[in-house]
Every structure is written in C-alpha cells, then in structure tokens.
C-alpha cells in the first residue's frame, strides 16, 4: 500500500479514536474508568503527534501531561479509598422523592439538549465561516519539523524571561505545597 495512504488512514483513525475515547471518558460514571479512557485518549494524541512528525518535541509536554494524569489518578484513588471515613454532608429536609426525580430528569434532558444544540450550532458556524480559508492556502511541498536543538535554541535565545517566570512559578508552587501540606492546619 502507498505510504501516504497508510499515513492518512492512521491519522483519521487516531482522530476518530481520540474523539471516541473522549466521549466515553465523559459519559462513564466511574471515576477510574473516566481516567482510564482519558489515558487512552492521551495515548492516541501521542501517536497522532508522532504521525505529525513532531518527533521528540512532543515528549517534553507529554511528560508533564503524564505526571498530571498519574497524579489525578492517584488522588482519585485515594479519595475513593479514604472517602468513607465521614458521613456525606447532607443538606435540606425530606422532600417528595418521586416529584424531585421527575423534575430532575426533565432538567437534565433540557440541559443536555441545550448543550448539544449550542455545540452543534457553534460547529456549523465555525465550518461555514472558515470554509474559504482553506481554498487559497499554499501548503508546503515536503513535511519538515523543527528538531529539539532548534526548539531549545529558540527558548534559550528568545524566551529567557519566560523561563525565569516558569522558575518563579515553580518556586511559588513549592511554597504553596509546603503551606498546604502542613498538618497543623492554619490556626491563628
């Protein structure tokens, strides 16, 4: 099979899988399953970026992303494990459960319909408004992407203040975690 065809097919497959896994991730109720499908979606995005010839330049953001997802997974797991130590905070008196259930169902359906129609409307608007943009486009003849040395060079030469800001932000976060993890709490 022609290499370009294979590449094209893989791209479309990955894009579809990203969308499908994302949808499933939203729809399932179990938190761990949500995160599992999110991870699959992440994996597909990684493959897609590889198919976009980004090579190693996606690795750096992917590492950050991976740490984040792992951290969320651990915290969700910890919450579920420890979460039954105290009673659930309740509010309000007894109300008629049946009426409340029917009312809630109607609200949920209305909310769902509004959200879906708004999103579809926005999608249609985006498609028609930007249709002409692609007509006059001059695409590159061969695919070339910047390598790691170029990217690091660009950061080093042009974006030193951003790196400084990043370091300041991480330092601030460090103090924040020390502050929030203090088991003595925050008495006055």
Residues of span 23-62 touching another protein by CB under 8 A? 23, 25-26, 31, 34-35, 38, 41-42, 45, 48-49, 52-54, 57-58, 60-61
Cβ 100 to another protein, closest distance in Å?
Answer: 13
Confirm if 51 and 7 have CB atoms less than 8 A apart.
yes
Among 94, 95, 96, 179, interactor with another protein by CB under 8 A:
179
The nearer residue to another protein, 23 or 102, going by C-beta atoms, is: 23
* DSSP H helix total and E strand total for the chain: 6, 0
Q: CA-CA distance, 188 to 181, in Å (whole number)? A: 17
Q: Can you read off the two tokens belonging to residue 38?
A: 């999110």
The nearer residue to another protein, 106 or 173, going by C-beta atoms, is: 173
Among residue numbers 142 through 161, which ones bind another protein (CB under 8 A)? 143-147, 150-151, 153-155, 158-159, 161
Among 2, 95, 97, 170, interactor with another protein by CB under 8 A:
170
CB contact burial 37-67 (16+ within 10 A = b; e otherwise): bbbbbbebbbebbeeeebeebbeeebeeeee
Q: CA-CA distance, 121 to 42, in Å (whole number)? A: 27
In the three-class reduction of DSSP (H, G, I as helix; E, B as strand; rest coil), residue 103 is classed as helix
Among 97, 98, 99, 132, interactor with another protein by CB under 8 A:
132
Among residue numbers 82 through 121, which ones bind another protein (CB under 8 A)? 82-86, 88-93, 111-112, 114-116, 118-119
In the three-class reduction of DSSP (H, G, I as helix; E, B as strand; rest coil), residue 92 is classed as coil
* Count of residues that interact with another protein, criterion CB under 8 A: 103
* Residue 92 dihedral angles phi and psi, to the nearest 5°: 90, 160
The nearer residue to another protein, 98 or 146, going by C-beta atoms, is: 146
The nearer residue to another protein, 102 or 114, going by C-beta atoms, is: 114
């Amino acid at each position: 099979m022609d290499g370009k065809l294979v590449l094209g097919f893989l791209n479309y497959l990955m894009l579809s899988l990203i969308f499908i896994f994302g949808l499933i991730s939203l729809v399932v109720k179990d938190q761990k399953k949500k995160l599992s499908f999110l991870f699959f979606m992440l994996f597909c995005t990684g493959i897609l970026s590889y198919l976009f010839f980004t090579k190693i330049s996606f690795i750096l953001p992917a590492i950050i992303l991976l740490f984040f997802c792992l951290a969320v997974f651990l915290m969700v797991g910890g919450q579920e494990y420890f979460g039954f130590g105290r009673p659930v905070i309740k509010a309000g008196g007894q109300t008629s459960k049946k009426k409340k259930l029917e009312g809630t169902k109607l609200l949920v359906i209305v909310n769902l319909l509004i959200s879906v129609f708004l999103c579809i409307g926005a999608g249609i608007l985006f498609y028609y408004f930007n249709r002409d943009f692609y007509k006059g486009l001059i695409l590159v003849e061969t695919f070339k992407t910047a390598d790691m040395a170029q990217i690091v060079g660009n950061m080093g030469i042009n974006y030193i203040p951003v790196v400084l800001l990043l370091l300041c932000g991480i330092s601030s976060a460090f103090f924040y975690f020390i502050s929030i993890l203090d088991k003595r709490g925050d008495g006055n």
